[in-house]
Chain A
Amino acid sequence: MYQFLALASQIVLAAGDEGEQVKEGGSEAIVPGITSGVLVEWAWLIVVVPIVAAFVIAFWGKKMPFKGWEAAWGAIGFVGLYGTVLFVLNASQGILYEGTVEIAEIGDFTLEWGWMVDGLSIMMYFLIGVVGFLVFTYAKGYMKGDIRFTWFFASFSLFAGGMLVLVSAPNLIQLIVGWELVGVSSYLLIAHYWEDYANVDAGNKAFMVNKVADAALFLGAIIMAVSVGSFSFNDVIDVVVKGEEGMLSQYAFWAGLLIFIGAMGKSAQFPLHVWLPDAMAGPTPVSALMHAATMVTAGVFLLGRLFPFYIDEAGIFAGDVRNIIIVIGGLTLFLAGLLAIVQNDIKKVLAYSTVSQLGYMVAAMGAGAYTAGLFHLFTHAFFKGLLFLGAGSVIHAVHSNNMSDMGGLRKKMPITFWTFIAGTLALIGIFPFAGFFSKDEILASMKFAGENGQDVANFILILGIAGAFITAFYMTRLVALTFFGTYKGHATPHESPKMMSYPLIGLAFFAVTAGWINFPGVYTGFTTWLATRVPLTGMGDHHAEGLDWSLVLIVTPVVLIGVAIGWWLYGKDKKSQAARDTFRIPVLWPLFENLYYIDDFYMNGIVRPTMGPIANVVLWWDRNVVDGIVNGVGLGSLGVAKAVRVFDQNVVDGFYNEIGAGVDELGSGMRKSFTGRVQQYAAFSFVGVVVIAVLFIIL
């Protein structure tokens, strides 16, 4: 304990110095302290252990005492522990290591499997491990009694492994493998309650929408790899940092755009966000870990991996794509936030909130703010995960997702209530909770980008501030309808068991404190920790010397006004003492409730035509053309077979029959010489002897 404090103080002092070195214009590249050794060379265990656990649970889970949960929990706990160790060491000394194993060589391409251990991936290991550990603990209580308990944890472990494959990837191929793994796990877990067909549809929807984006990702990755000659991130970033004109700069715009579209799918950006709210059909732990904390952040992570490509100092790469990125991020954060206002399902509110926050992260990347976007990813994982688990706790207690069945739970579920408040304050962005620092940094970087050439960033900044207001508004509504007023449901709610509430407390701790590791002007350790690989010199990754007070003074009141209005509209009705949900704006509310009709557009414009006419055309083709060819080949074969039979019976058999007949006649002929008279035989043999003798003599 002492040593930890000593270490921590050293970190603070050391990073404090570096914080002062850093001025506007980016951070120095950090010289890593650890580049080899057992700790990093064996880091592949982080990736492999959960996958192995998944298989172990799948095959032997039912026979284990805790039905497989212990294997999953142990595996994710191992990841959490390892990740924490790496995180702390990275903070104190800096780690940079890339371990690879060559799998195959195909022409000029070398296929490698590897595990990166640098600032970005260490952050993700820590996140996945710690949040995953708490969620898995929670899940044991939440999924109790479920008939597919074992399979749930097998899939969940597989997801954890897949996500780790993704974040540890040193090249695009492994990243795509991890991408697809988490996609599959997502599908499996969303459709966990597949007895209800709607849940299966939700899983399909998630998979299909992601597939559309994945097509773009593949194309983009291929363009990038062919241009550079390698799939490895190191090689791509080398080319970018050197600023070489070449194939990559020629196709950079398309590669960057296509890869971003792939990221849009996974990170639920407009208009590919439609799957995320439907994904709430899955069990709440799934929603907490996958669809809030980790899987959906994969798109932001990918942008972070390729960040030099997008920040494009040389001006010849994908710098133009950033405008597209920031616009889409901005639209997403604003429009999704609006949709969260009208939802009745508590998980749907949080889902749209997640989409909105992802929009913040993406917009930050678009503005060129590497640290801000990833920092928000970091803090969001904790408080959004907390909010989801809290919602799950509430759902578990009242047996309903709808907020109309809730109310007044604050007295009956105190732990849930207070941790939920902590998460809400973090999300809204109230000092000193985590979200304040990360959101503030995003807005500050947008302002900086707007001042330094990216004009559209100014507009997005306004959207971001409006988004803060909307966030405060819908979260207040949610809290009011759920925890205040009188209880309108029919069950007897009570606090959740310890296994479910302790993780809430753990996450609440992080929701409160996580922001303090990147307090501009006081301590910006997180910035340096992330920078051990990507040399961010002069990359516009703007860090202020201190908080941007002008922004704080605008945003905080906006947020507080949002809370106030929300409370006024949705809080206790003085007369009935019940929370009411009666506020509606005529034209807008129906638009929101119908989700801007985007889902309907997809369904009627794309899905139904494919299922109907296109499917019929394909069926006709298959039945008549393809089957026709197959039948034709079959009939042809029959004809050939008949010809062969004729040939065989007449020619071939005839030949052999003739031979047989010939032998028969020969035999009959020879039979005549078998007189049975030995003397005759003797005579003939002596004739033969004479002949041979003559031959011998002559020859």
Chain B
Amino acid sequence: METVSFADWFKEAANWAFILIALPTLFGAWRTVTSNNIVRAVLYLVVSLAGTAAMFLMLGAAFVGLTVVLVYIGAVVILFLIGIMITRAPLGMEAELSHGRDVKVPAALLSVVLFAVIAWAMVDAFGMYMIQPFEPTLTSDLANTLFDRFVLPFEVVSFVLLAALIGGIAIARKDDEGGNR
């Protein structure tokens, strides 16, 4: 595998673009989990997800990136906002949205340790291997594979979505007896 030295990495323009994208992503993620304002937390999530979509584009996965934007940002985050509104979450800065220090510290520790382990493992395995130049993935190729090789998982996922749809309706249905239907 071809490697590149650390110094040479900074010479490539694409890598600077990467840094420009990665930093907001990480910042967005950081603020999602630490923000005291619930709406802002969800919106920082949007930032993070947008960053990941950009990274997908950099990797030539155009379709996936666009799907992320459409589905994640377009639907999932909307669901979060709906959930926030319906559950009348305390809006505003004075809300306590996280546990106290006695939880935060161990959690932070755990996160750091986890990151360290994973990072160390990956650096140890992949070092500075370069990704070979590639053509961006054609959506038609993706579609061919999806409906040829992966048609069964596709069908299964559609079943799951159906089940989720029906389940969601069944769970959240308003009724007169107080939620036992």
A residues apposed to B, CB below 8 Å: 679, 683, 686-687, 689-690, 693-694, 697
Given contacts A679-B99, A690-B114, A690-B117, 6 further A-B contacts (CB under 8 A): A683-B106, A686-B110, A689-B114, A690-B113, A694-B117, A697-B121
Shortest CB–CB separation between residue A696 and chain B, in angstroms?
8
Q: Tell me the complex Cα distance, A687–B117, Å.
A: 12
Pair A683/B120 contact, Cβ less than 8 Å: no
Pair B121/A683 contact, Cβ less than 8 Å: no
Shortest CB–CB separation between residue B138 and chain A, in angstroms?
36
Pair A683/B107 contact, Cβ less than 8 Å: yes
Pair A697/B117 contact, Cβ less than 8 Å: yes
Pair B114/A686 contact, Cβ less than 8 Å: yes
Closest to B109 in A: A687
Shortest CB–CB separation between residue B115 and chain A, in angstroms?
10
- The contact string, 1 if C-beta is below 8 Å from chain A, for chain B 87-114, is 0000000000001000100110010011
Pair B118/A693 contact, Cβ less than 8 Å: yes
Q: Tell me the complex Cα distance, A687–B107, Å.
A: 10
Pair A690/B110 contact, Cβ less than 8 Å: yes
Instruction: Give chain A residues whose Cβ lies under 8 Å from the Cβ of B110.
Output: 683, 686-687, 690
Closest to B111 in A: A686
B residues apposed to A, CB below 8 Å: 99, 103, 106-107, 110, 113-114, 117-118, 120-121, 124
Q: Tell me the complex Cα distance, A683–B120, Å.
A: 21
Q: Tell me the complex Cα distance, A689–B110, Å.
A: 11
**Which of B103, B106, B121 contacts A693, CB < 8 Å?**
B121
Shortest CB–CB separation between residue A697 and chain B, in angstroms?
5
Pair A697/B120 contact, Cβ less than 8 Å: yes
Shortest CB–CB separation between residue A30 and chain B, in angstroms?
102
When A and B form their complex, which 3 residue pairs have the shortest distance between CB atoms, in order from nearest? A693-B117, A690-B114, A697-B121
Instruction: Give chain B residues whose Cβ lies under 8 Å from the Cβ of A679.
Output: 99, 103
Q: Tell me the complex Cα distance, A689–B111, Å.
A: 12
Instruction: Give chain A residues whose Cβ lies under 8 Å from the Cβ of B107.
Output: 683
Shortest CB–CB separation between residue A408 and chain B, in angstroms?
119
Q: Max chain A CB contacts within 10 Å: which of B117, B121, B124? A: B117
Q: Max chain B CB contacts within 10 Å: which of A679, A683, A690, A694? A: A690
Q: Tell me the complex Cα distance, A418–B107, Å.
A: 133
Shortest CB–CB separation between residue A668 and chain B, in angstroms?
24
Q: What are 18 A-B residue pairs whose CB atoms fall within 8 Å in the complex?
A: A679-B99, A679-B103, A683-B106, A683-B107, A683-B110, A686-B110, A686-B114, A687-B110, A689-B114, A690-B110, A690-B114, A690-B117, A693-B117, A693-B121, A694-B117, A697-B117, A697-B120, A697-B121
Shortest CB–CB separation between residue A559 and chain B, in angstroms?
123
Instruction: Give chain B residues whose Cβ lies under 8 Å from the Cβ of A690.
Output: 110, 113-114, 117
Q: Tell me the complex Cα distance, A697–B124, Å.
A: 10
Q: Tell me the complex Cα distance, A687–B106, Å.
A: 10
Instruction: Give chain B residues whose Cβ lies under 8 Å from the Cβ of A686.
Output: 110, 114
Instruction: Give chain B residues whose Cβ lies under 8 Å from the Cβ of A697.
Output: 117, 120-121, 124
Shortest CB–CB separation between residue A549 and chain B, in angstroms?
127
Instruction: Give chain A residues whose Cβ lies under 8 Å from the Cβ of B120.
Output: 697
Instruction: Give chain B residues whose Cβ lies under 8 Å from the Cβ of A694.
Output: 117
Instruction: Give chain A residues whose Cβ lies under 8 Å from the Cβ of B124.
Output: 697
Q: Tell me the complex Cα distance, A165–B117, Å.
A: 99
Q: Tell me the complex Cα distance, A190–B113, Å.
A: 108
Instruction: Give chain B residues whose Cβ lies under 8 Å from the Cβ of A693.
Output: 117-118, 121
